[in-house]
């Protein structure tokens, strides 16, 4: 055990002290935080400057009827100024010139002139306003033509907007506001992250074993330590490296979020950032949703935070650590066994395919599990040890009974123990064998060898 700890310490300190590890560990959450907050923060700063749009309405339908927004201010100008503004928009003081033709009810087309490409928020606001006024005009003409005074009012009453608010009920009868979309995002991120961690650190073990074998370094190490001690020291050392990196990421991301909220983001800015992030994810054709956020609830951000708090993050973080450790032990042991049995990367590929197929299959299953977290595919994927580290992490934000979680962890722990036992048998024989390509049949024989 003492020799295993010495190897563990060497593997851990060698990688943790590398500049590349320190840079990756520190820069990754900083870059991720910048990607989350910086675009939205800059968007809120840009939104303070409204764009002035000159409007020439040859139809006279829209005169004085276009509402301004935070990003767009309409200014109607006489038709005589049209050519002057159009020919020199850059120096006219206007961001754009909007020409509404007299036959707008027939063509449904308008022209917008600008010195630069019009931004998407300005274009969407123009579209929304014109479409709304044209619909009102056409309804008014329909009412006049068929002679039903209250037709427009009745038609307006038929418009319906549905908002589904999800409430998660606990066993005690209390409820917390939740969000299916947020649960989907958290589940997908957790599943994909554990896939990257298991595959990345498992590959490190595999390539480290193969490199030591090819360079004949292992022959020197084996003279003072047993093969099993060498394998376990390497596996546990890299596991500690992965846990260190993950815990640093969690602390840095928490600090970035709390610091950004407390230091330079006031309540109004947070509201604008929530709207900006939400709008960027919406289809540009969803006019009703865009209108809702332009004239929306001032407490929208608080509602989003309340829904995020409905996710049991302590359970997810703890489960992530457990599934990472067990999943990593399962896969890294098998990868170490494969690397010890071959002499080159070309020979290693034929044995790696059966090991990596379950990991790849788990990623392929992600979307189906997110769509139906209680389906047969999701439940069985949570029990099968080769897929459970990813599939169970995807299901957790939607709520999983404790007994299912316990069964999944128990099966995975037993499977990891079995994988370590198999890997130790193969590693002990294969690490000192050179010049011979092993077959699956021969690997089976190695498992039957006695000490």
Judge whether 422 and 443 are in contact, CB under 8 Å.
no
Using CA atoms in the order 308, 314, 319, 320, what is the torsion angle rounded to 10 degrees? 70
How far apart are the C-alpha atoms of 214 and 221, rounded to whole Å? 13
- The three-state secondary structure class of 449 is coil
β-pair partners for 74: 53
Nearest to 166 by CA among 329, 308, 13, 1: 308
The pLDDT value recorded for residue 305 is 53
* Residues, the chain: 451
Spell 355-379 as b/e; 16+ CB within 10 A means b: bbebbeebeebbeebbeebeeeebb
pLDDT band for position 212 (50/70/90)?
Answer: confident
DSSP structural state of residue 81: G
- Is the predicted pLDDT of residue 193 greater than 80, yes or no? yes
Q: Which of 73-87, 282-296, 335-349 shows the lowest per-residue confidence on average (mean pLDDT)?
A: 282-296
The token duo for 354 is 């059966």
CA 399 vs CA 78, 315, 376: distances in Å: 62, 10, 16
Judge whether 98 and 54 are in contact, CB under 8 Å.
yes
The pLDDT value recorded for residue 451 is 56
Domains of the chain from N-terminus onward? 2-39+180-448 (no CATH), 51-135 (3.40.190.10)
User: How do residues 45-90 score in pLDDT, each as one tens digit?
Assistant: 554 567 888 888 888 888 888 888 877 889 999 888 888 888 888 8
The token duo for 162 is 């549905």
The token duo for 197 is 């961690």
**The residue to which tokens 């563990």 are assigned:** 8
| Mean residue pLDDT across the chain | 75
Highest mean pLDDT among 67-71, 176-180, 245-249, 408-412: 408-412
Judge whether 342 and 210 are in contact, CB under 8 Å.
yes
The pLDDT value recorded for residue 410 is 95
- Is the predicted pLDDT of residue 101 greater than 80, yes or no? yes
Task: Kindly give the residue spans of alpha helices, DSSP state H, lying in 310-439.
Answer: 313-341, 345-371, 376-383, 388-395, 402-430
- Is the predicted pLDDT of residue 95 greater than 70, yes or no? yes
Judge whether 13 and 241 are in contact, CB under 8 Å.
no
Compute the chain's Rg from CA coordinates. Answer: 31
Q: How many CB atoms lie within 10 A of CB 391?
A: 28
β-strand pairing of 111-114 with 175-178 = unpaired
The pLDDT value recorded for residue 35 is 65
> Which residues have a Cβ under 8 Å from the Cβ of 375 and sit 6 or more positions away?
368, 369
How far apart are the C-alpha atoms of 27 and 122, rounded to whole Å? 35
The token duo for 423 is 């890997």
pTM for this entry: 0.61
Nearest to 56 by CA among 92, 85, 29, 36: 85
């Amino acid at each position: 055990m003492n020799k295993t700890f010495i190897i563990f310490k060497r593997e851990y300190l060698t990688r943790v002290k590398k500049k590349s590890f320190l840079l990756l560990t520190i820069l990754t959450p900083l870059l991720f935080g910048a990607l989350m907050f910086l675009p939205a923060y800059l968007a809120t700063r840009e939104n303070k400057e409204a764009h002035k749009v000159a409007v020439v309405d040859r139809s006279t339908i829209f005169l004085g009827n276009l509402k301004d927004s935070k990003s767009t201010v309409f200014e109607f100008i006489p038709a005589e100024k049209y050519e002057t503004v159009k020919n020199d928009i850059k120096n006219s003081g206007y961001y754009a010139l909007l020409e509404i033709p007299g036959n707008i009810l027939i063509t449904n087309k308008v022209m917008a002139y600008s010195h630069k490409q019009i931004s998407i928020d300005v274009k969407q606001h123009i579209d929304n306003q014109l479409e709304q006024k044209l619909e009102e005009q056409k309804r008014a003409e329909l009412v006049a033509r068929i002679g039903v005074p209250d037709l427009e009012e009745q038609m307006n009453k038929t418009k319906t907007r549905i908002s589904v608010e999800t409430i998660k009920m606990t066993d005690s009868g209390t409820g917390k506001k939740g969000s299916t979309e947020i649960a989907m995002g958290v589940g997908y991120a957790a599943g994909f992250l554990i896939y990257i961690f298991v595959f990345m650190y498992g590959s490190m073990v595999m390539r480290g074993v193969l490199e030591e074998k090819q360079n004949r370094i292992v022959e020197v190490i084996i003279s003072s330590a047993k093969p099993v001690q060498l394998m376990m020291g390497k596996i546990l050392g890299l596991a500690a490296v992965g846990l260190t990196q993950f815990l640093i990421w969690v602390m840095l991301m928490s600090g970035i979020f709390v610091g950004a909220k407390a230091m330079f983001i006031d309540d109004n800015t947070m509201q604008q950032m929530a709207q900006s992030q939400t709008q960027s994810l919406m289809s540009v054709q969803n006019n009703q949703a865009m209108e809702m956020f332009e004239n929306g609830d001032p407490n929208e951000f608080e509602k989003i935070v309340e829904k995020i708090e409905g996710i049991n993050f302590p359970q997810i973080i703890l489960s992530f650590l457990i599934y990472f450790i067990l999943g990593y032990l399962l896969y890294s042991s098998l990868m170490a066994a494969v690397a010890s049995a071959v002499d080159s990367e070309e020979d290693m590929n034929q044995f790696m395919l059966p090991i990596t197929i379950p990991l790849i299959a788990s990623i392929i299953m992600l979307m189906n599990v997110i769509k139906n977290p209680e389906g047969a595919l999701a439940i069985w994927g949570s029990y099968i040890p080769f897929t459970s580290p990813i599939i169970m992490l995807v299901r957790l934000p939607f709520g999983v009974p404790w007994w299912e979680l316990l069964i999944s962890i128990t099966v995975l722990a037993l499977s990891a123990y079995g994988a370590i036992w198999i890997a130790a048998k193969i590693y002990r024989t294969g690490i000192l064998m050179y010049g011979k390509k092993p077959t699956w049949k021969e690997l089976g024989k190695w498992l039957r060898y006695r000490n």
